[in-house]
Each structure stands twice: as structure tokens, then as C-alpha cells.
């Protein structure tokens, strides 16, 4: 076994050496004109028209910065393989990450610290503060740049509303109305009135969304200390609502193991009346799940009275791989500025991007939230007005009201692990009539606190 021990020891030494080398990589004083090759991410599975549009942008970028040579690489964020791909060097230098994973990656040092370079950008101070939080470390330095933001919304099927005798232009505005609408849909049609995600950490995600909408929080953070506040009246109220809809009204159908992809499928197929998810889901529903655009409607989540209720925010960050050296990081920030941010701030770039999406039959104009401020966001919408191809009239219950709802970032400590331990809580409530909600919450809070303390 000596060769194995040697191999193992050598591997460990190699890993440590690699760690030491990457730590040395964040040195300042880089020659801005030295030639650099930058690998950037492009979505996988695009039509040729979209790829051509991307290449055109790459050419413009290379004209602007002659010393940077850009190579595109297909990459879609995949949480399960990210660490291995990063270690293996198969990740592009610049890629996008959802908000919910950003904080964890920053804490584990899997992203490059580009905060110094980002701070020099002209708009560095103008990000919407709630949106910028997702890409910042504990000290407030921006390690990843927010490029898109959304708020949670209540999606509903207009056709099912009509079939149930409800008015699709007047969706529910309180949770009681949601419950009544769900019951009407379940009674009058074959579909489930209301459905909720419960698997692959989405159970915790949506439960947190409901908690925020009822005025609660999942964690209280005080400097370095964090306290889990899962065992609180608001979470219990959210679970109680689900319990009543499931067991008293029988309005939640018969499938309780949904995750993000499968609930979109069933909603697009007309088997679900209402569900809570990210506000910009229209694209996934129509292009990936062939939903009939006429059936789609979205409204804001009902918020409880009182100051603390708000809507959980999500979005996308542009990040730089931890393995990029200083020169590559500088080039990467230039790319992020050019490709991701310019379409938010510059009219020509915004129109070019919208046109490319429009020509590729991708949705333009699905509801999002401002990354900077509302004025710029509204102006952006006027620039791309001619390319908007989504049924905006059907989305007015959302777009008219979302900007007045407080935007709350996700819990910051051990987010994914806490979501994971809330999945079985939601599943238990929905599959076991006699589930003891108080006991489940007490146990969940204890486990969550242990995870926070350890992490």
C-alpha cells in the first residue's frame, strides 16, 4: 500500500500547494495592456442566431480592448458540479451565478475577489442596495456583480381562473383570497388550486418567501452572530395555511414533491392553478415548457399588514472564477461591464440585446426588478419597447405593485443547508395529516442553529 499512501500524500501536498498559489494570485499592479485571453460563459443550447449575436458583441469588445482576446465557452450554472469543475479548471473565467448561491461561494473562496476593480467602475455606488447585498462579502465588498434581479410573485393560470368562475384580471390580494381561489379551482376543475415546491432545497426557499410575506424572518444576524428564527409565529402561520389548504380544502392536488423544474412543467401543462416562484418565470414556462401565453398571469404576493412584510428577492450575479489571475480578473471586470451591465445603462446596447433575443424568439420584457434604480429601469423599458413580445397586460397585477413592495434579501448564513432542512418540514405538513407543526419547527430551529454555529 506504500504507493497509495505516497500517491495520497502527494495529492494532499499538491492540493495545498495549489491553494497557496491561488492565494498569491491576488496581487495588484497589473499592466493593463498586456495580452490576456479571457474565457467567458455563453448559455448552452442557444440557437445559431443568438450565438452570432454573441459573437458580434465579442468582436465589438475586442475592438474596444485590443489586448484582450475572448473565447466563449458554453456554461450554465450547475451547483452539483461547480466545485469539481472549478478545481479542474473547466469553468470559464466569467460566469453567472444565482443570488442564492453567491454568498456561499464567496464565503468558501470559490470566487475571485474583484471588489477592488469593481469599486473603480463609474456606477459602483449606484446599485440598488438590496440587490447588491447578494454579491457582497460580510464586509460589504462586492465580489460578484448583480446583473439581473427579480422578486417572488404568485403565478396563476388565467384559463383555470375563468373555468372556476373567477376573474383573471382580479387575482387574489390576500392570503384568504388565495385560499378561496384555490378551493374554487379545485372544486370546479381537475387541476390543483395551489401548489408549492418542496424538494431540492426549493421547499425551504418558498417557505422563506411565505415567511417574509407574513412579516417574519428566518435568521437574525447581529455582526458575526446569527440566530435562527424558524420557530416563530409567522412560519407556523405559513405552514398552517398550507396544512388547511391541503387537508381541509383538498385544494393542493396530489403531488407534493415538486421542485423548480417539475412545478413549472405542471403549471405550464394547466394542472396547477397558482404557485409562488420567481417573478421572471415567464421565459421558462413558455420557451421550455410550451405554455400557452394567453393562459399566463402573475400578481404580487399578498403581504401582511405591519412593517416587516416584504418580498424575497433573487437574481443573477456575474462572477469571476477563483482561479483567474490578476490580469484575467481585470479583463473579466471589463467584460462584465461591457456585456452584462451596458445593456442596462446604454440605449444602443439595450436595443441590440433585445433585438437579438427577439430574433431568437426568446421572451423580451418579462418582469424583473431594477439593478440600479427605478428611473433607469423605466427608461430601459422605453428603449426596448418595440421588441417586447410578452403579454404585459396580463402581468400588470405584478408590475403595477412590485415596486412598492419592500425587497428583502435571502438569509445570509448557511442558506442552502437551512433550506435543505426545511424541505422535509414542508413535505411532512403536506403528506402527514397529523404532522405536529410546533415540534417540527422546534427541531428545525435547533438543527439550523447547529448548522449556523458550525459554519
Cβ 302 to another protein shortest distance, Å:
27
Cβ 137 to another protein shortest distance, Å:
15
Cβ 59 to another protein shortest distance, Å:
33
- Tell me which of 41, 317, 428, 452 binds another protein, using CB under 8 A: 428
Q: Give yes or no for a contact between 378 and 410, defined as CB atoms under 8 angstroms apart.
A: no
Residue 116 binds another protein (CB under 8 A) = no
Q: Give yes or no for a contact between 236 and 441, defined as CB atoms under 8 angstroms apart.
A: yes
- Tell me which of 154, 430, 441, 444 binds another protein, using CB under 8 A: 430
Give the helix/strand (H/E) hosting 98.
strand 94-98
Which range binds another protein by CB under 8 A, 108-116, 159-167, 332-340, 344-352?
108-116
Distances (CA, A) of 145 to 83, 116, 178, 316, 372: 20, 12, 36, 8, 12
Cβ 435 to another protein shortest distance, Å:
8
In 120-259, which ranges are continuous DSSP H helix? 129-132, 158-163, 175-188, 202-213, 233-243
List the grid coordinates of 73: 465557452
Non-local (6+) Cβ contacts of 348 within 8 A are none
Q: Of 318-347, which residues contact another protein (CB under 8 A)?
A: 322-323
Residue 352 binds another protein (CB under 8 A) = no
Between 41 and 53, name the residue whose CB sits nearer to another protein. 41
Q: Of 386-425, which residues contact another protein (CB under 8 A)?
A: 416-417, 420, 423-425
- Tell me which of 84, 119, 269, 290 binds another protein, using CB under 8 A: 84
x-marked contacts with another protein along 191-210 as a string, rule CB under 8 A: -------xxxx---------
Q: DSSP for 40-74?
A: EEE-TT--HHHHHHHHHHHHHHHHHSTTEEEEEEE
Non-local (6+) Cβ contacts of 432 within 8 A are none
DSSP state of 245: I
Beta-strand pair 219-222/36-42: unpaired
Residue 453 binds another protein (CB under 8 A) = no
Cβ 93 to another protein shortest distance, Å:
15
Residue 96 binds another protein (CB under 8 A) = no
Of the CA atoms within 13 Å of residue 348, those in its CB half-sphere come to 3
Residue 7 binds another protein (CB under 8 A) = yes
Task: Give the residue from 112, 97, 43, 45 showing the smallest Cα distance to 73.
Answer: 43
Residue 261 binds another protein (CB under 8 A) = no
Torsion of CA 426, 257, 97, 375, to 10 degrees: -70
- Tell me which of 55, 169, 187, 190 binds another protein, using CB under 8 A: 190
- Tell me which of 39, 58, 96, 101 binds another protein, using CB under 8 A: 101
- Tell me which of 86, 124, 360, 388 binds another protein, using CB under 8 A: 86
Instruction: Compute φ and ψ for 422, nearest 5 degrees.
Output: -85, -20
Cβ 414 to another protein shortest distance, Å:
9
Size of the site for another protein (CB under 8 A): 53
Q: In whole angstroms, give the CA distance from residue 140 to residue 159.
A: 46
SS3 for 256? coil
- Tell me which of 141, 227, 255, 289 binds another protein, using CB under 8 A: 255
Cβ 418 to another protein shortest distance, Å:
9
Q: Considering only CA atoms, give the Rg of the chain.
A: 23
Give me the residues that bind another protein (CB under 8 A), please.
Answer: 4-5, 7-9, 11-12, 15-16, 18-19, 22, 79-84, 86-87, 101, 104-105, 108-110, 190, 198-201, 253-257, 259, 322-323, 416-417, 420, 423-425, 427-428, 430-432, 435, 447, 454
Amino acid at each position: 500500500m506504500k504507493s497509495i499512501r505516497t500517491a495520497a500524500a502527494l495529492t494532499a501536498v499538491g492540493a495545498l500547494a495549489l491553494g497557496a498559489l491561488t492565494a498569491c494570485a491576488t496581487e495588484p499592479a497589473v499592466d493593463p495592456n498586456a495580452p490576456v485571453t479571457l474565457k467567458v460563459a455563453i448559455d448552452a443550447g442557444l440557437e445559431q442566431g443568438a450565438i452570432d449575436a454573441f459573437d458580434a458583441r465579442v468582436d465589438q469588445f475586442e475592438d474596444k480592448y485590443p489586448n484582450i482576446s475572448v473565447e466563449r465557452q458554453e456554461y450554465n450554472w450547475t451547483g452539483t458540479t461547480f466545485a469539481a469543475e472549478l478545481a479542474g479548471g473547466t469553468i470559464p473565467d466569467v460566469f453567472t451565478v444565482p443570488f442564492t448561491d453567491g454568498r456561499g461561494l464567496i464565503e468558501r473562496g470559490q470566487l475571485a475577489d474583484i471588489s477592488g476593480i469593481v469599486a473603480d467602475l463609474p456606477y459602483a455606488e449606484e446599485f440598488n442596495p438590496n440587490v447588491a447585498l447578494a454579491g457582497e462579502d460580510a464586509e460589504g465588498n462586492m465580489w460578484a456583480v448583480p446583473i439581473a434581479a427579480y422578486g417572488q410573485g404568485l403565478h396563476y393560470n388565467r384559463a383555470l381562473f375563468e373555468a372556476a368562475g373567477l376573474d383573471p384580471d382580479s387575482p387574489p390580494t390576500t392570503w384568504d383570497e388565495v385560499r378561496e381561489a384555490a378551493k374554487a379551482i379545485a372544486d370546479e376543475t381537475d387541476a390543483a388550486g395551489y401548489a408549492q415546491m418542496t424538494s431540492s432545497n426549493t421547499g425551504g426557499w418558498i417557505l422563506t418567501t411565505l415567511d417574509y410575506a407574513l412579516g417574519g424572518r428566518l435568521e437574525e444576524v447581529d455582526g458575526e452572530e446569527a440566530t435562527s428564527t424558524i420557530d416563530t409565529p409567522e412560519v407556523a402561520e405559513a405552514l398552517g395555511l398550507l396544512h388547511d389548504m391541503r387537508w381541509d380544502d383538498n385544494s393542493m392536488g396530489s403531488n407534493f414533491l415538486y421542485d423548480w423544474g417539475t412545478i413549472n412543467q405542471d403549471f405550464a401543462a394547466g394542472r396547477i392553478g397558482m404557485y409562488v416562484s420567481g417573478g421572471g418565470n415567464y421565459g421558462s414556462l413558455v420557451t421550455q415548457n410550451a405554455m400557452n401565453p394567453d393562459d399566463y398571469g402573475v400578481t404580487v404576493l399578498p403581504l401582511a399588514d405591519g412593517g416587516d412584510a416584504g418580498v424575497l428577492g433573487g437574481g443573477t450575479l456575474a462572477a469571476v472564477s477563483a482561479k483567474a489571475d490578476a490580469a484575467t480578473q481585470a479583463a473579466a471586470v471589463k467584460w462584465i461591464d461591457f456585456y452584462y451591465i451596458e445593456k442596462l445603462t446604454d440605449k444602443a446596447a439595450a436595443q441590440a440585446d433585445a433585438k437579438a433575443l427577439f430574433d431568437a424568439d426568446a421572451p423580451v420584457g418579462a418582469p424583473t426588478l431594477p439593478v440600479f434604480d427605478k428611473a433607469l429601469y423605466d427608461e430601459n423599458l422605453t428603449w426596448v419597447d418595440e421588441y417586447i413580445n410578452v403579454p404585459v397586460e396580463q402581468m400588470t397585477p405584478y408590475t403595477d405593485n412590485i415596486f412598492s413592495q419592500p425587497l428583502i434579501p435571502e438569509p445570509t448564513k448557511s442558506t442552502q443547508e437551512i433550506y435543505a432542512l426545511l424541505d422535509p418540514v414542508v413535505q411532512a405538513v403536506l403528506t402527514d395529516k397529523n404532522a405536529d407543526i410546533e415540534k417540527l419547527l422546534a427541531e428545525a430551529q435547533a438543527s439550523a442553529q447547529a448548522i449556523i454555529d458550525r459554519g
